[in-house]
Copies of this chain bind each other. A is one copy, B any other.
Amino acid sequence: MSKGLPKRSEDYSLWYNELVKKAGLAENSAVRGCMVIKPYGYAIWEKMQRVLDDMFKATGHSNAYFPLFIPKSLFEAEEQNAEGFAKECAVVTHYRLQTDPDKPGKLRVDPNAKLEEELIVRPTSEAVIWNTYKNWIQSYRDLPILVNQWANVVRWEMRTRLFLRTAEFLWQEGHTAHATAEEAIAETKQMLEVYATFAEQYIALPVVRGVKTPNERFAGALDTYCIEGLMQDGKALQAGTSHFLGQNFAKAFDVKFASKEGGLEYVWGTSWGVSTRLMGALIMAHSDDEGLVLPPKLAPIQVVIVPIYKGDEQLAQISEKVLQLKKELEAKGISVKYDDRDTERPGFKFAEWELKGVPVRIAIGARDLENGTAEVARRDTKEKGSQQFDSLATYIPALLDEIQENIYSKALNFREENTTKVDTYEEFKQVLETKGGFVLAHWDGTSETEERIKEETKATIRCIALNTPEEEGVDMLTGKPSKQRVYFAKAY
């Protein structure tokens, strides 16, 4: 098959868009800014969901489901949050269509079916959830509430890109309620660590764990923690956020509890989420000019086997051996596709599975049959070699582990090579313009400086990393004192 994929070095952005479409992950729909997630893309998302859901449950959370719509009056209740999302929300104003008297066969909004109060399609669910928690919480015995929701949300973004920024996206949003600030902060940090673990161990994406500056905080939060990954074009991508909400939503929705000591106190809250944006991170972090490179732990198909044969008899001989191997691998929890289509040639199949990022390809032909061998090719390094067929049931599982580790190591090396310490603004701008990546620089802690740097360079403070050592220094722009370096980057 002809892939027709642009090279990353020529047009990274076009390469990404084309890859998403050609690999069968997603496409644009008839609805502005909304995507169709195709079966192969959705299969990856399902794998992500399953792993994350298990991690949430292992940390004591349960799933629930809250309404898609938020009445305007509830939406308004937490002011910062309302302001933050008002500019980009879908508003339902009517509940019926009627036949258009002027256009036969067409429908129009029924003017008599106007809602008394407009409904906002949820951009995030704090408002409707805290309004519900109000009735669930009376006493400290009702706390903590540890709930997560898998849902679709809508933010009317003007410039959209498949997976990275879409008007509708899929996500999970955890919403927890606690008796103390300490407990809520511990929850916020715990979920950040769950996200970081998932990113590193499953997406094979090393991430910086950090806290956002006030400018970049979630509207309505006291603190926003985040994980930030680095893409191959040197731009950062925020892969997950975990918010300490303080008592903001409890106050907005009057959620109080009788404490053990007999007082009446506002509840402390957190919220945390990851979305289909993780698909964008997965794709951009590892893939190459030949197509997707999927970490084995998230690959819907981990091993593809292609027979190379002349005539039905050879195919039958190959299939017999392959189906036995497939069974053995599947018994070890490995997903295997035997691509015995007779409508396509092996070269076409090789290219197709390469495009789709299947981690391991096994090819077996007549010569292999005689020799008791098979050709094994790795998607990540493109290495291939002959292996004893009988060894494959033990060789392949180990190889998949090695590939998972290698993809992570490669991404980690890339990040390390593309993280630069700078001390002057000149150097800062030069690094951003030439190599990009994370730039570690001193910052005086003011919004003004942060904004000026953003205006002049398009770089934002991605986060103040949690593990940053204290280091006396001066802001590269203003010369004011600084106690630690922060992560700057241009970002998605």
Binding site for B on A (CB under 8 A): 27, 29-31, 34-39, 42-43, 45-46, 62-72, 74-76, 79, 82, 86-99, 105-107, 109, 118-121, 128, 131-132, 135, 141, 147, 151-152, 154, 156, 168, 170, 343
Instruction: Closest B residue to A45 by CB, please name it.
Output: B65
Given A86-B97, A141-B343, output 8 extra A-B contacts at Cβ < 8 Å.
A29-B67, A30-B128, A86-B98, A91-B93, A91-B96, A92-B92, A93-B93, A93-B109
B96 and A121 within 8 A (CB): no
B86 and A30 within 8 A (CB): no
Contact partner, A70, options B31, B68, B98, B135, Cβ 8 Å: B31
A168 and B68 within 8 A (CB): yes
A119 and B42 within 8 A (CB): no
Can you identify 19 A-B contacts, CB atoms within 8 angstroms? A27-B132, A27-B135, A30-B128, A36-B65, A37-B64, A42-B64, A46-B63, A65-B170, A72-B97, A76-B106, A76-B107, A86-B98, A90-B95, A90-B119, A91-B96, A92-B92, A92-B121, A93-B93, A96-B156
Q: Which residues of B contact A98 (CB under 8 A)?
A: 86
Smallest CB separation, A395 vs chain B (Å)? 28
- How many angstroms from the CA of A92 to the CA of B67 in the assembled complex? 16
Instruction: Closest B residue to A72 by CB, please name it.
Output: B107
A62 and B39 within 8 A (CB): yes
A29 and B90 within 8 A (CB): no
Q: Which residues of B contact A82 (CB under 8 A)?
A: 107
Q: Which residues of B contact A95 (CB under 8 A)?
A: 88-91, 156
Main secondary structure on chain A at its contact with chain B?
mixed
- How many angstroms from the CA of A79 to the CA of B37 in the assembled complex? 27
B107 and A96 within 8 A (CB): no
B109 and A118 within 8 A (CB): yes
Q: Which residues of B contact A147 (CB under 8 A)?
A: 39
Instruction: Closest B residue to A37 by CB, please name it.
Output: B65
Q: Which residues of B contact A88 (CB under 8 A)?
A: 95-96
B91 and A109 within 8 A (CB): yes
Smallest CB separation, A469 vs chain B (Å)? 42
A38 and B64 within 8 A (CB): yes
- Given A87-B96, A96-B89, A97-B72, decide whether A63 and B36 contact each other with a Cβ distance below 8 A: no
- How many angstroms from the CA of A343 to the CA of B70 in the assembled complex? 37
Q: Which residues of B contact A128 (CB under 8 A)?
A: 29-31
- Given A96-B156, A121-B92, decide whether A107 and B75 contact each other with a Cβ distance below 8 A: yes
Contact partner, A86, options B29, B67, B72, B107, Cβ 8 Å: B107
Q: Which residues of B contact A90 (CB under 8 A)?
A: 69, 92, 94-95, 119
- How many angstroms from the CA of A154 to the CA of B95 in the assembled complex? 10
Instruction: Closest B residue to A38 by CB, please name it.
Output: B64
Interface-central residue, A75, A88, A121, by most chain B CB under 10 Å: A121
Smallest CB separation, A147 vs chain B (Å)? 6
Q: Which residues of B contact A156 (CB under 8 A)?
A: 95-96
- How many angstroms from the CA of A31 to the CA of B88 in the assembled complex? 21
Q: Which residues of B contact A67 (CB under 8 A)?
A: 29-31, 34-36, 168
- How many angstroms from the CA of A62 to the CA of B97 in the assembled complex? 33
Q: Which residues of B contact A37 (CB under 8 A)?
A: 64-65
Q: Which residues of B contact A71 (CB under 8 A)?
A: 30-31
Smallest CB separation, A460 vs chain B (Å)? 24
- How many angstroms from the CA of A89 to the CA of B113 in the assembled complex? 10
Instruction: Closest B residue to A94 by CB, please name it.
Output: B91
B63 and A42 within 8 A (CB): yes
- How many angstroms from the CA of A492 to the CA of B35 in the assembled complex? 36
Instruction: Closest B residue to A26 by CB, please name it.
Output: B65
- Given A30-B128, A71-B30, A105-B79, decide whether A66 and B36 contact each other with a Cβ distance below 8 A: yes
Smallest CB separation, A281 vs chain B (Å)? 18
- How many angstroms from the CA of A43 to the CA of B53 in the assembled complex? 12
Q: Which residues of B contact A31 (CB under 8 A)?
A: 67, 69-71, 119, 128
B68 and A152 within 8 A (CB): yes
Q: Which residues of B contact A46 (CB under 8 A)?
A: 63
Instruction: Closest B residue to A74 by CB, please name it.
Output: B30
B36 and A64 within 8 A (CB): yes
- How many angstroms from the CA of A99 to the CA of B107 in the assembled complex? 32
A91 and B86 within 8 A (CB): no
Smallest CB-CB A-B distances: 6 pairs: A39-B62, A34-B67, A86-B97, A37-B65, A95-B156, A91-B94
